[in-house]
Amino acid sequence: DLEEAALPLEEYTSLKEFFARALKEGSRPINADPQCLVSPVDGTVLRFGELKGAGAMIEQVKGFSYPVFSLLGASSLLPTAADINVQEEHTESITTTEKSKKSWWRVSLASPKVWDPTSSR
């Protein structure tokens, strides 16, 4: 939304300057709720889920689902199934904070004005 830009459009000398532009003060207040997901981009979260090991699937990226390792690489830092089983066997020694640490995936649409998923079929 160009109304949010700190400078008029004609003052940007390159696409890089435009896409890394500052916004007018207060144009996008950040929700202070710690349970709220905040993203620094123009876009919409279409799907999200918890990553549960290297075999986890990320759903519906351009109409297809993918195994995490195919997108992040086989040597990604996600726990393997064996690691998960060991962790489950020793839950008594894991703190509440450690239990809350999880890996998540998300699929975002760059801008709702660019593509409307309901009209593309």
Q: Higher-confidence residue: 115 or 75?
A: 75
Residue 82 lies in a domain: yes
Tell me which of 100 and 55 has the higher pLDDT.
Answer: 55
Q: Which residue has the higher pLDDT, 51 or 92?
A: 51
Is position 30 within any domain? no
Residue 56 lies in a domain: yes
Rg, Å, the chain Cα set:
20
Within a domain: 14: no
Q: Mean of the pLDDT values across residues 30-45?
A: 78
Does a structural domain hold residue 5? no
To the question of pTM greater than 0.85 for the whole model, the response is: no
Q: Is residue 90 very low, low, confident or very high in pLDDT (cuts 50, 70, 90)?
A: very low
Quote the tokens at residue 43: 């876009």
Does residue 19 belong to any structural domain of this protein?
A: no
Higher pLDDT, 97 or 56: 56
Q: Alpha carbon 30 to chain centroid distance? A: 17
Give me the number of domains the chain comprises. Answer: 1
Domain of residue 94 covers: 50-121
User: Is 17 among the domain residues?
Assistant: no
48 has pLDDT over 60: yes
